[in-house]
Amino acid sequence: MKIKGNGLNRRNFIKTAGITGGVLALAGSAGAGLASGKNKDSFTGWGRTAYGKDQFFNRKPFITDNPTYEKVGESRRITYIEDLFKRNGELSRLLFARGNEAPSWTFDDGAEKLPEPLRTYYLEHPESLGEFRKAIQKSQEQEENWQKYKNKYLLADAWSSAHASAIQGQGAFPPQPKGLPEESDFRGVKKEALKLKSPGHGSSLIKQITYSFGASLIGIARVKEDWVYQGYLRGVGKGEYEVPGHWKYAVVIAVPHEWDSMYANPTYGTSYDAYSKLRFIAGKLEVFLREIGYAARSHVPPTSYEIAMPPLAIDAGLGEQGRHGVLITPELGANTRLAAVTTNMPLEPDKPIDIGIREFCSKCKICAEECPSGAISFTDEPENVIRGYKRWNIDADKCFTIWNSVATSHARGCRVCLAVCPYSRKNNWIHNIVREVDPRDPTGVFSSAMLAMQKKFFNYPGGQAYLPPPDGENSTYGEAPSWLMTEEWFNY
Amino acid sequence: MYPNALILGPLFWIIMGVIYTVTVTGFYYWTKDKGIRLNWWKWLLSVLWFTGTNVVIAGAFTLFGENETRAGLYFIGLFGVLFLILGVGLWRILSPR
């Protein structure tokens, strides 16, 4: 065939179309890539949650009989006073008396005059008391500085408050336990439980149900005594307690923060979006379990826990603990928030996994470099033995001081370590290649190459930059989403 | 956006399939007319190079889409130059002597 006038024959037409096609194919790849990067469905936990499709990583090849925490000595349960929030809460009640009462303790009185168990704790950890004093000073500065920032962060603060409103006060869900666990956890349990076909059926059912409540990841673990807090029980108060016999299994639930705001930490993010989701999921599961005849108790954020979550989640096969102390899961990275429901329903526990997080964290250190408080260890290998387990220690007191320093309306967290963690990435093709190849490479060469690219290619402001002026620039790790930027919607 | 859309998504990938077919066909005639003889491994190298170039472009634009502009530029800077060099090498292998 010859087309008159321009000398184009069929062969030349195909050749020209081929060149044009090559250019169009590259343009198409660019378009597909751009769409994949922008795609909100690839923000795990905010798309196909109800059908279990968030838990997309095949854990089977990485199952291990040995959990990735390292027991090196005699272990013991964590006492409630070792928990920052419990400790600070008790101290605050002494420092800031209600009504017209005078404070029953001031910093000038020193640790000696504190009631037990605070006295013993702070005599053993005097630096912790000093850090809390600094946190209170920073809190007062934060209150004054908020006037400067309240308009800029109006939407972020309002969004955070809206999420927090669902979990505070008397109307919070799930309701706090009342009385001994042997009464409280059985309250409302149906007397005639049907015979379960097998523990495996129990696990499958509970997972399906919990996904439908909105859980992104679910794992089941036997409750291990080492992870259960000692010295305080919700619904009862202070005292020495055995682990209740009906806390046989824990259904561990994970959800992420909303991703765009999470990347824009510390000032645009909040913990309460994930916290409120977790409370509704765990609370509903608690009701569901009781309705089908089993005892249940929710352990939910921010502080309504009787069990330390990260090691429990490791036992449940959800992930491994990172340098920053936060659980890292293959799907959500460090953007993983946890809750659990303990029950006596016969269940088949999951097995822990080893995807090489510890080896990666020993090389990475991005979270330690970016932490505004310097609370994260820089040592290559974990060097602290905490209650019999070797791990990287987090200086929770220093971390809390920064909560009180960043430009938010009150101490509502920082979460920079979650945002900068290289594992906290979308569920799209480019990150899934890394997700799948990295744990299968026994040499560690792939992860070293990826880490080198991560550090060189991506922009990290540096720890100090997250602080307000004059110490920093109120930087965020990622750009804030427009729906949280006041200037996009209001004149001020 | 279109590659993820319910209706336009499948259409997009069908069109992409047609485009790739036309590209390969055009390449076949182009090499014939240039007197380039392609055996199986030269075909394989050519397809791998073109696929790799597409992946580099898609990778960089994925990072742009994630608002990681700097990472995208570094990505295309590193791997784009690498594939350019590989392309020159491939051309030297393919071109008749």
How many domains is chain B built from? Answer: 2
Same domain assignment for residues B25 and B44? no
Identify whether residues B58 and B15 lie together within a single domain. no
Q: What is the pLDDT of residue A6?
A: 63
CA distance A194 to B91: 72
Per-position DSSP letters for A380-410, written without gaps between them: SS--EEETTEEE--B-HHHHHHHHTTSSSSS
How many residue pairs from chains A and B have C-beta atoms closer than 8 A?
128
Nearest CA in chain B to A264: B67
Same structural domain for residues B42 and B22?
A: no
Q: Are residues B46 and B26 part of one domain?
A: no
CB distance B3–A32 less than 8 Å?
yes
Q: Which of B29, B54, B64 lies at the smallest CB-CB distance from A37?
A: B64
The ipTM value here is 0.89
Same domain, B24 and B48: no
Of A297, A305, A345, residue with least CA distance to A187: A297
Beta-carbon separation of A25 and B26 below 8 A: no
- In chain A, where are the structural domains located? 45-427+459-488
Distance CA A270, CA A258 (A): 9
Do B93 and B60 lie in one domain? The reply is yes
3-state secondary structure of B95: coil
Cβ pair A26:B53 closer than 8 A: yes
| Helix H or strand E encompassing A220 | strand A217-222
Which residues in chain A are contacts of B14 at CB distance < 8 A? Answer: none
Do B26 and A16 make contact, defined as CB atoms within 8 angstroms?
yes
Cβ-defined contact of A34 to B30 (cutoff 8 Å): no
- Position A237 scores a pLDDT of 94
Q: Tell whether B47 and B28 lie within a shared domain.
A: no
Please answer yes or no on whether B30 and A24 come within 8 Å at the CB atom. Answer: no
Q: Quick one: pLDDT at residue A41?
A: 82
Q: Do A18 and B63 touch (CB under 8 A)?
A: no
Q: How far is A30 from chain B (nearest CA, A)?
A: 5
Contact A26 B54 (CB under 8 A): yes
* Rg value, chain A, Cα: 25
Residues 77-96 of B with CB under 8 A from A: none
For testing contact with chain B, the best of A8, A24, A29 (most B CBs within 10 A): A29
B46 and B27 in one domain? no
Could you tell me if B49 and B96 lie in one domain?
A: yes
Ordered mean pLDDT values, 10 residues apiece, chain A (492 residues) = 64 91 93 89 76 85 92 92 92 86 90 94 95 95 94 97 89 92 94 92 98 96 97 94 97 96 97 96 97 97 95 98 96 97 98 96 97 96 92 95 95 96 94 95 95 95 95 95 96 88
CB contact under 8 A, A429 and B2: no
Nearest chain B residue to A426 by CA distance is B66
Q: Shortest CB distance from B62 goes to which of A25, A33, A456?
A: A33
Nearest to B16 among A25, A458, A459 (CB): A25
**How confident is the model at residue B6, as a pLDDT?**
74
Chain A residues with CB under 8 Å of a chain B CB are 11, 14-22, 24-26, 28-39, 41, 426, 428-430, 453, 456-459, 478-479
CA dihedral A308, A313, A315, A320 (to 10 degrees): -110
CA distance A319 to A305: 20
Whole-prediction pTM: 0.92
Contact B22 A21 (CB under 8 A): yes
Residue B43, SS3 per DSSP? helix
Tell me whether B2 touches chain A (CB under 8 Å): yes
DSSP notation for A409-420: SS-----HHHHH
Spatial distance between the Cα atoms of A276 and A414, rounded to a whole number of angstroms: 17
Contact flag B62-A428 (C-beta cutoff 8 Å): yes
**Looking at the structure, do residues B27 and B50 belong to the same domain, yes or no?**
no
In this prediction, residue B5 has a pLDDT band, given cuts at 50, 70 and 90, of: confident
pLDDT of residue A369: 97
Q: Which of residues 24-63 of B touch A (CB under 8 A)?
A: 24-30, 33, 50, 53-55, 57-63
CA distance A37 to chain B (A): 4
Among A428, A443, A383, A442, which Cα is nearest to A62's? Answer: A442
Let me know whether B1 and B24 are in one domain.
Answer: yes
Give the one of A22, A426, A459 whose C-beta lies nearest to B66's C-beta: A426
Please tell me if residue B19 touches chain A, with a CB cutoff of 8 Å.
yes
User: pLDDT band at residue B2, thresholds of 50, 70 and 90?
Assistant: low
- Asked if A457 lies within 8 A of B4 by C-beta distance, the reply is no
Which range of residues forms the domain containing residue B1?
A: 1-35
Q: Tell me, what's the pLDDT at A5? A: 56
Nearest CA in chain B to A479: B67
Contact criterion met (CB < 8 Å) for A36 and B27: no
Q: Are residues B23 and B44 in the same domain?
A: no
Query: How many CB atoms neighbour CB A247 within 10 A?
Result: 23
CB contact (8 A) between residue A34 and residue B61:
yes
Whether A263 contacts A478, CB under 8 Å: yes
CA distance A328 to A320: 5
pLDDT at A42: 83
Q: Using one digit for the tens of pLDDT, what is the confidence trace for B36-51?
A: 888 999 999 999 999 9
Q: What are phi and psi of A79, to 5 degrees?
A: -85, 150
